[in-house]
Amino acid sequence: MRIHLTSVFVDDQDKALAFYTDVLGFVKKTEVPLGEDRWLTVVSPEQPDGTELLLEPSGHPAVGPYRAALAEDGIPLASFAVDDVQAEYERLRGHGVQFTQEPLAMGPVTTAVFDDTCGNLIQIVHNAG
């Protein structure tokens, strides 16, 4: 069994697609119109056939309170692996990305947390262990 698809709820799919591709560096994999919204996924350019991230509209009534509670407690909705947290932190800050947690080393694991501009906190992580 493998993880095929996971999702992040987004306030605006166009804004999210721009952020996740132009800033984070993912590439669009799927775009299928579904009424006013789209089935819109991105993938890592390093793994084009790997796990897809669905940029899912946040219209369901449960989404707002769920995301607000996570953000209030500083809990990331998703975690993305990077080779060098410090370098990625610097690169993203250069793009104006706002971090809620600067790079933090905890033994072999280093993490940082940023706001994806679409209503979510996202963690980047490197595990040297």
User: For residue 20, what is the domain's CATH number?
Assistant: 3.10.180.10
Confidence class of residue 20 from pLDDT cuts 50, 70 and 90?
A: very high
pLDDT, position 119: 92
Convert the pLDDT of each residue in 70-84 to its tens digit.
999 999 999 999 999
Mean local confidence (pLDDT), 97-122: 97
Confidence class of residue 107 from pLDDT cuts 50, 70 and 90?
A: very high
Task: Give CA–CA dist 127/105, Å, rounded.
Answer: 10
Full residue range of the structural domain in which residue 90 is found: 5-127
pLDDT, position 129: 82
Burial 28-38, CB ≥16 within 10 A → b, else e: ebeeeeeeeeb
Number of structural domains the chain divides into: 1
How many residues in total does the chain contain?
129
